Amino acid sequence: MYWTRERMSEEVYNLIVDCCLNIALDANELLQKTLDKETNNTAKSMLQTMLDDAKMAIKVDKPICQSPGYATVYISFGENANLEEIKDIKEIYAEAITKATKDGYLRPSMVHPLTRKNPGDNSGIGVPNFEFNFVRGQKYIDHILSFKGCGAELANAMKIMTTAQLGKNYIGLKKFIIETALAGGGKPCPPYAIGVGIGGQMDVACKIARQAVSIRDWRDSNPDPMLKELEDELCEKINSLKIGAAGTGGETSCLAVKIEMVSTHTAILPVGISFHCWVARRGGLRFYPDGQKEILFRRN
Amino acid sequence: MKEVKLSTPLKEKDIRNLRIGDVVYISGIICTSRDMGHLKMQDVIGKGQKLPVDFTGGVIFHAGPVVKQKDNGYELSVIGPTTSIRMEPYSDFVGNLGVRVIIGKGGMEEGTSEALKKYGIVYLQAPPGCAVILGEKVKRIKDVFWKELGIPEALWVLEVEDFGPLVVGMDSGGNSIYRDIKIKGKKLIEKMF
């Protein structure tokens, strides 16, 4: 086996550190574009500070944001994957997160949900969160790691809508999303991206909303023309509310809206809305059967 | 809109002169407190005991730092604001302590706006997520209390220089940028469809 536990641990540790020190290239590019067209002076100053912060983090080898957010590891594989290579993956990530915490890259932020006791090293039940996905024919094993900020989580919403509430031209759906953005204001660290999950059941809608905003490139174009149109319309309308960077006014609060959709039952229309702060800490590794490794979401 | 440099302990007069949109830089001492920290403060005061820090003319920063443990104590790595709305239930309590400035992100609601007016306090918006830039403005960790609450929730006493840029999001005259945006936004949504 090429990827021994020891070698894999090293790769995973480096991936974690890389995510703590960098924002994804797409987020960085969209922030710069936002600054270029901003007219509000407060928003300009906030955006410039964000871009400076992102630059400085790498230079001084310190985490870009004090909060590491909530980590999810998305693993995907095909029928020919050597599952031996991922059998220890949960322990490898948990150990690497603890080590990166001791090394000062992650603040110890994970606590017992009821007692609120903090073990001090980001260890705990279900840390990090894992999602495994079987993709027929995929020759490689992919790891995508996302640290999703939790101030942004405070603005999230979900609703089991009905056919009547959906409305003509989906006005009910659009209003729900735009009103959620207005209620969120500056809480989710704008400029943010919004993931919207439509369909399934409660958990499915929320999960695909999170996946959309955590995994997808914020600059991509939805292959479904109807969803692409909806994404563009929602993004434009949310920005017209002038919430602005940091939520203190300005031209842009929303960098992108990303919609994922699955079928649902005829009685319901579940909608999940998941915000992602501007600090898009997302990284990935691809492992080929011949031992080759590729870094996903390359910085440059 | 004006740019103002302030030093702790802060005077009520200087705070009451600030208006929404003004940019502030603070030098002196600021203290972190968030969910568990506020609960702990209430608990201590409720028992008739004294807080480890005198908040008269002081600053509460809704934040939890990243720190490194050294032989002679802690060294601050980075620090940035956390979402303030969670501390909304404590606004009057905090006002009673003599606090003059609350720093955080995302703004607060009407209870806080009332307390800001009543006691002469401002709410300052820090650049969200900008923990390295803000961390550079912290000269040293002066003290830490209640470490048993965990690193993010402990009461960190920080010595800062020109800490900012901080934007007055809510002032002591009852104004709030966040409220203004919400009122305008609601009207815009009504006209949207």
For residue A169 the two structure tokens come to: 């031209």
Q: Do B21 and A185 count as a contact with CB atoms less than 8 A apart? A: no
Report the C-alpha gap between B91 and B112 in whole angstroms.
Answer: 5
Q: Which residues of chain B have pLDDT under 50?
A: none
- Predicted confidence at residue A299, as pLDDT, reads 63
Count of all residues that appear for chain B in the document: 193
Q: Find, among A183, A129, A172, the residue nearest to A271 by Cα.
A: A172
Q: Are B145 and B100 in contact (CB under 8 A)?
A: no
Helices assigned H by DSSP within B69-166 = 91-96, 110-119, 131-135
Report the C-alpha gap between A271 and A201 in whole angstroms.
Answer: 9
CATH level 3 topology of A5-22+64-149+280-296: Dihydrodipicolinate Reductase; domain 2 (3.30.360)
Strands A157-161, A254-264: pairing kind: unpaired
- SS3 of residue A178 by DSSP: helix
> Hey, what's the torsion of the CAs at B5, B11, B17, B19, to 10 degrees?
70
CATH code assigned at B81: 3.20.130.10
Angle between helices A89-102 and A5-21 (to 10 degrees): 50
- Which of B105, B112, B132 to mutate to test binding with chain A, by most A CBs within 10 Å of its CB? B132
- Predicted confidence at residue A84, as pLDDT, reads 87
Q: Which of B38, B40, B100, B105 is catalytic?
A: B38
Residues of B with Cβ-Cβ distance to A246 under 8 angstroms? 105, 125, 127-128, 167
CA distances to A73, A183, A226 from A261, rounded to whole Å, are: 21, 24, 11
Strands A269-276, A254-264: pairing kind: unpaired
Report the C-alpha gap between B172 and B114 in whole angstroms.
Answer: 8
Report the C-alpha gap between A264 and A270 in whole angstroms.
Answer: 8
- Cα angle A267, A269, A273 (rounded to 5 degrees) comes to 160
Residue B100, number of CB atoms within 10 A of its CB: 25
Query: pLDDT tens-digit profile of A119-159?
Result: 999 999 999 999 999 999 999 999 999 999 999 999 999 99
Number of domains in chain B: 1
Quote the pTM value. Answer: 0.96
Residue B91: domain span: 3-192
Average pLDDT value for residue range A93-101: 98
- Which of B83, B85, B122, B188 to mutate to test binding with chain A, by most A CBs within 10 Å of its CB? B83
Task: Fill in the amino acid letter for B174.
Answer: G
Q: What are phi and psi of A155, to 5 degrees?
A: -100, -5
Q: What is the ipTM of this complex?
A: 0.95
Report the C-alpha gap between A261 and A197 in whole angstroms.
Answer: 6
The residues with which A130 forms a beta bridge, in sequence order, are A73
- Predicted confidence at residue A3, as pLDDT, reads 85
Domain coordinates in residue numbering, chain A: 5-22+64-149+280-296, 152-276
Q: Do B36 and A116 count as a contact with CB atoms less than 8 A apart? A: yes
Closest residue to A67, CB basis, from B82, B125, B136: B82
- Predicted confidence at residue B17, as pLDDT, reads 98
Query: pLDDT tens-digit profile of A215-255?
Result: 999 999 999 999 999 999 999 999 999 999 999 999 999 99
Query: Is B62 a known active-site residue?
Result: no
